[in-house]
Amino acid sequence: MNWLNKLIVGLMPIAPKFLIGQVAKRYIAGEELEDGIQRVYKLNDHGFLGTMDVLGESITDKAGTEKPMRLYKNLIRELGEHPDLRTGISVKLTQLGLNIDKEFCWENFKEILEMGQEIDLLIRIDMEDSSVTEDTLQIVERAHEIYPKVGAVIQAYLHRSEEDMHRLLEQDINVRLCKGIYKESASIAYQSKEEVRENFIKLGKIYLANGGYLGIATHDEYLIDHFRTYIENKGITTDNYEYQALLGVPIEHILQPLVDDGKTVRIYVPFGEDWYAYSSRRLKENPDIAGYVIKDFFKRDKLS
């Protein structure tokens, strides 16, 4: 079936939008803020924490940042009305103007930071492609000095990431460690699955062994099993780590047992109008998703 899944992904540019919409139903809470709120409540009921993310792409003009700023502010205000909701938020700095002007982006993010601080909200600054890695880390550091509940993301496939992990460890910054999804050259990033896995393990152990708080963000069962064994053998407490996954990725058979065993598991919950681009990326990253979606589609059709 793998070849068929890849074929489906290759035909995406001419696929009807409703077909991509089938992906969106699995991986996105919905178009509205209330959809995201309700999805996180359901996750909380099953013992999971959430991270809410406003979908959107990089902004190329200052006026374009007004919409994402409004959406993020509305999100934080709404979370203030739901103090029982166990969630944080994630923010993409290119939505706030990082590719236009770093100081302009900082002023925008600072508004979000101050609002989040008022309700004691965990704020994760997402990591994007390598062209903005350094600027993103500098804003993380700047924000963390004001509000300690600001976290970073490190991508295991980048050669520079070991140095960045030590840098963030020195400042006691909460880190979400993931493999990395952007296409990067071999001069700055590991290319093979094995190399990325090895570096992920190396970086994660650096953080855990030195008392940093680590979000183990992966759907790779090998890595989850590896870290579960390592953590148990080292006697690392749940105060120092959590597991993280994207909404809809079909590894419930691993995640729910982790929660049932008392581990912290956080689910990334995207929502918003810009679902098409996000869903298309999910398909390109993992063609096997196409198979799951097609199966679900025909199951629903039979039942109707």
Active-site positions read 126, 176
Average pLDDT over residues 158-164: 98
Residue 291 has pLDDT above 60, yes or no: no
The residue among 180, 176, 246 whose CA lies nearest residue 215 is 176
Q: What is the pLDDT of residues 98-128, one digit of tens each?
A: 999 999 999 999 999 999 999 999 999 999 9
Question: For residue 17, which amino acid is it?
Answer: K
Average pLDDT over residues 166-187: 95
Q: What is the pLDDT of residues 196-212, one digit of tens each?
A: 999 999 999 999 999 99
| pLDDT in the model for residue 248 | 86
> What percent of the chain is modeled with pLDDT above 90?
76
Indicate the pTM of the whole model: 0.87
Question: Taking the domains of the chain in order of start, what are their residue ranges?
Answer: 2-10+34-298
Q: pLDDT grade, residue 302 (50/70/90)? A: very low
Judged on CB neighbours under 10 Å (0-12, 13-18, 19+), 192 is: exposed
Q: What is the pLDDT of residues 19-76, one digit of tens each?
A: 556 666 678 898 899 999 999 999 999 999 999 999 988 899 999 999 999 999 999 9
In CATH, the number for domain 2-10+34-298 is 3.20.20.220
The residue among 77, 108, 113 whose CA lies nearest residue 95 is 108
The residue among 43, 29, 26 whose CA lies nearest residue 75 is 29
CB atoms within 10 A of CB 67: 15
> 133 in helix, strand or coil?
helix
Q: What are phi and psi of 178, to 5 degrees?
A: -130, 170
